[in-house]
Amino acid sequence: MEELDTTDLLLLKILGNNSSYTIKELAAQVNLSPTPVLQRVKRLENNGYIKKYIALIDHEKFGHGFIVFCNIKLKQHDRNIGNSFVEDIMKIDEVVECYNISGDYDFILKVFAKDMKNYQNFVFNKLGSVKSIGSTQSTFVMSEIKNLHNINL
């Protein structure tokens, strides 16, 4: 792993909070000229420190502000069932995040839905069609307190 200096870390922190800055704006914030900042950002991208740039969409504006964390237990633990689950989940649009976890459950899903009725339909018709699922447990988000997409550098 390469050594990142304080300027690299500052660039990552700035971009983690707002990736829409121009190279010129970034340069002003880190007290360098644009050319070395562009080189640094390209190196951070090429070395995988920056995976991609995205826009965070307000799902409530589209009527999908009902957030649910759904814990999943597989029917049994073997490679075929695990791989089958992952393939099936990747096809379901309502699932915006999926993590393989340890503990009482095997996976946790973050799901956006319109409302409780829409989520119920999702559970019965979409999750219900995933043959590898043994059981589910849902936790409904009452309000979002903190949602950052950067790391503490």
CA distance 73 to 132: 9
* 150 pLDDT higher than 90: no
What is residue 97's predicted lDDT score, i.e. its pLDDT? 96
The strand pairing partners of 12, in sequence order, are none
The string of pLDDT tens digits covering residues 87-142 is 999 999 999 999 999 999 999 999 999 999 999 999 999 999 999 999 999 999 99
pLDDT for position 1: 59
Is the pLDDT higher at 1 or at 149?
149
Q: What are phi and psi of 100, to 5 degrees?
A: -85, 120
pLDDT-based confidence at residue 152 (cuts at 50, 70, 90): confident
Bridge partners for 97 per DSSP: 110
Q: Is pLDDT above 80 for 153?
A: no
CA angle 114, 144, 138 (to 5 degrees): 55
pTM (whole model) above 0.85: no
**Which pLDDT tens digit goes with each residue over 37-64?**
999 999 999 999 999 998 888 888 998 8
Using only C-alpha atoms, the chain has a radius of gyration, in whole angstroms, of 20
What pLDDT shows up at residue 112?
95
pLDDT of residue 40: 96
Pairing of strands 133-140, 66-74: antiparallel
Please write the tens of the pLDDT for every residue from 68-97: 999 999 999 888 999 999 999 999 999 999
Which structural domains are found in the chain, ordered by start?
A: 6-46 (1.10.10.10), 59-140 (3.30.70.920)
Residue 69 host element (H or E): strand 66-74
- The candidate with the shortest Cα–Cα distance to 6, out of 25, 24, 32, is 32
Q: State the pLDDT confidence band at 27, using cuts at 50, 70 and 90.
A: very high
